[in-house]
Amino acid sequence: MSISMTTNDTSENTLDMGFSALRESYKTGASTPASVMADIRERAAEYADHNIWIHLLSEVEQAVWLDALKDKDMASHPLWGIPFAIKDNIDLAGIPTTAGCVAFAYTPDVSAQVVQQLIDAGAIPVGKTNLDQFATGLNGTRSPIGACHNSFNYDYISGGSSSGSAVSVALGLASFSLGTDTAGSGRIPACFNNLVGVKPSIGLLSATGMLPACRSLDCMTIFAYNTDDANIALAVAEGFDARDGYSRQNPFDNQARHYGLRTGSLKVGVIPAHQLKFFGDESYEKAYLQTLDLLKEQGFAFQEIDYAPFDEIAQLLYEGPWVSERYIATQPLIDENPDAIFPVVREIIAPGGKPPATSLFKAQYRINDLKQICLAQMAQVDCLLTPTAGRHFTVAEMLAEPIKRNSELGYYTNFMNLIDLASIAVPTVMTDNDMPFGITLVGPTFSDRMLMSIANRIQQALPLKKGALEAMAMPSNTTPVGNNQTIDVMVCGAHLEGQPLNWQLTERGATLKAKTTTAPNYRMYALAGGPPLRPGLILDQDKGDAIEVEIWSVPTANFGSFVAGIPAPLGIGKIKLADGSQVAGFICEPYGIEGAQDITHLNGWRAYLASLR
């Protein structure tokens, strides 16, 4: 079977490399994992001048994993036969890890924890991909084997440091890939190659078997065509690893089942016009403004945030003491054989042995001060939205001013890991010169599935092709999901604003969302006892009325303790509101109204209290 993956071939032989399409091809017998891998090797030879691979696996090297599929049921192995690429600072057993430096190379006996989990789920490694040496750079030109060229235009950069990982997927040589991200390496290449780039919360994916650039900041990343595929790969790859000192347990509300299609209105933070930077790229500026206009039509409401504290944090990544972590990662090579390191990379890393500990502590103090400002702004919106990059440089432009241009590439990305945020890069439109443009969504730690669900909504509203291929990338998951960071609770009595028990909400961080009424199907009673006086709400389809209520948004983490403190005969159930929607709210057990006063005719607790004066 011949598989064509060029950008201009729409023939019947073109194979869709998306997860669901590829699995369907296997089920029908139209292709096999072995035939797909053989065709990938054939196609990879056509792109040899793109410098995608450091080690493309041979048929013999892949045989062990292909043979293992015979004993794996496709239904219970979500990545059965799915080809994936691995950035060459991540270990694959028996294959050298070079980090883009031959003098540094070693051959691991075991695969990185994430790689092994993907293989166990049926995924097949294609090879180890090119990168900015020692994962130092955002551009894809800092490799001794040559710059990794863009999948759309050979003259442009691919983005880095995870350059080969992104280009391999964009050209259909893998269905997804692993990268890493310290400063933007899992996002910039996604933007430049029309892919989704997931930069998960630090510690969500194990770092065991990954050579870090900055161990305290690094995380593995995933490149995929759409959010559906990215969620499947992330679900397999994630997991706590006690061997990794930075690994963390994934909380319940960030599990894979919470990914879907984000519905309802969204309030999104954006950067004011005077703080945006496009570095002379008018096509990217136009694409960004076009993206905002399109998203407004899809129910996105924008609120400006002050980007200055985010930018100050970003500058500390390369200009501050964190360069010492890069120095640690390359020892003893940089001490004993510095000429083995790519010149620009050496220029960046070499000073890392000099900063004193006092510089680190001073920088940490400043970051914590700025983090408070940043998180306070983020708490006012569902997420932040930035351009992923301000300009797409040519290879020639990058090589002419490598450090300056690389710094410009990181203007929108460098701050995120320093203050422990999650993000996802998502393509939105093509520029006037037919190059990809995309945005990045940013949220707090462990907001990964929330961000992916918003990105799903964007991809479904603004459909684009899969990388540089012809097949469309639009995800198909339409399961509605809302904001899982808070839970809306209806209150109707002592918890109303200004009432004696309102502190039980406000001290848990709850905020007043709306004042409304129930559907006209409820009776309200003033219960015996107190203080404080309390009402009881009972459903009565025949003799009910509309009751004035308030809706409060309670942080999910504090909802359980709030409910646990509610005394009998009251409890929390589903209440129908005037607009027909249902919300969690106070209800009363029927036995509780024995001896109680029916106050339904007053249509609310405040009116009842006024009647007592």
CA distance 257 to 253: 9
To the query of whether residue 128 is one of the catalytic residues in this protein, the response is: no
Given 158, 163, 185, 324, the catalytic residue: 185
Neighbours of 509 (CB within 10 A): 13
Which helix (H) or strand (E) segment is 548 a member of?
strand 548-555
Mapping DSSP onto H, E and C, the string for 67-126 reads HHHHHCCHHHCCCCCCEEEEECCECECCECECCCCHHHCECCCCCCHHHHHHHHCCCEEE
Given 25, 87, 168, 423, the catalytic residue: 87
CA distance 169 to 52: 10
CA distance 357 to 305: 33
Given 161, 163, 177, 407, the catalytic residue: 161
Q: In what order do the strands lie in the sheet with 582-588?
A: 511-517, 548-555, 486-491, 582-588, 570-576
CA distance 45 to 43: 5
Using DSSP bridges, classify how beta strands 422-430 and 196-199 pair: parallel, antiparallel or unpaired: antiparallel
The burial of 580, by beta-carbon neighbours within 10 Å (0-12 exposed, 13-18 middle, 19 or more buried), is given as exposed
To the query of whether residue 476 is one of the catalytic residues in this protein, the response is: no
Q: Report the candidate in 32, 124, 37, 47 with the shortest Cα–Cα distance to residue 468.
A: 47
Which pair of structure tokens corresponds to residue 96? 């050298």
- Which residue has tokens 């045989």? 63
- Which residue has tokens 């960004």? 288
Reduced to 3 DSSP states, what percent helix, strand and coil does the chain have, rounded to the nearest 5?
35, 20, 40
To the query of whether residue 185 is one of the catalytic residues in this protein, the response is: yes
The partner residues of 488 in beta bridges, in order of sequence, read 553
Which pair of structure tokens corresponds to residue 98? 């070079």
Mapping DSSP onto H, E and C, the string for 262-330 reads ECCCEEEEECCHHHCCCCCCHHHHHHHHHHHHHHHCCCEEEEECCCHHHHHHHHHHHHCCCHHHHHHHH
Which pair of structure tokens corresponds to residue 257? 């089942």
Instruction: Give the catalytic positions in this structure.
Output: 87, 161, 185
